[in-house]
Homo-oligomer: A and B are copies of this chain.
């Protein structure tokens, strides 16, 4: 059994990190499936999905790491191509990946108490983000 959920949210630009745990948990509940996997996938090449303890300190630390590893203001060949300036966004997204698979059982995600599912905006402008939650199970 598979139930697909389309979800959207509005972001404020690079580093903006959204806790989507409740959205994913609600999709699992709505699917009425007991056990399986929720695959969270963000559409687009300048955002990512991962888990983190969603408190402002850790979230800021993660954004700071990305800025240190892949600086926003640096020469990117992608800029030459399109005249835009989100080369850092594309590279960060390829590094982190667009997808996360989270098991559930008894209708509940197997997350830790301090482990939240986040959608990380990596693009340099605010965006309307679409993501898919594919709930597969029985």
**A residues touching B (Cβ–Cβ < 8 Å)?**
1-2, 4, 35-37, 39, 41, 43-45, 50-53, 55-58, 60-62, 64-65, 69-70, 76-82, 87, 90-91, 93-103, 105, 110-112, 114-116, 118, 132, 134, 136-138
Contacts and interface: CB of A to CB of B under 8 A. Distances in A.
Given A53-B90, A77-B57, A4 B103 contact: yes
Given A91-B62, A110-B43, A98 B78 contact: no
Chain multiplicity (copies)? 3
B61 A76 contact: yes
B57 A4 contact: no
Contacts of A64: 77
A92 to B, nearest CB: 9
Contact of A101 (B41, B60, B69): B41
Given A45-B51, A77-B56, A138-B2, A39 B94 contact: no
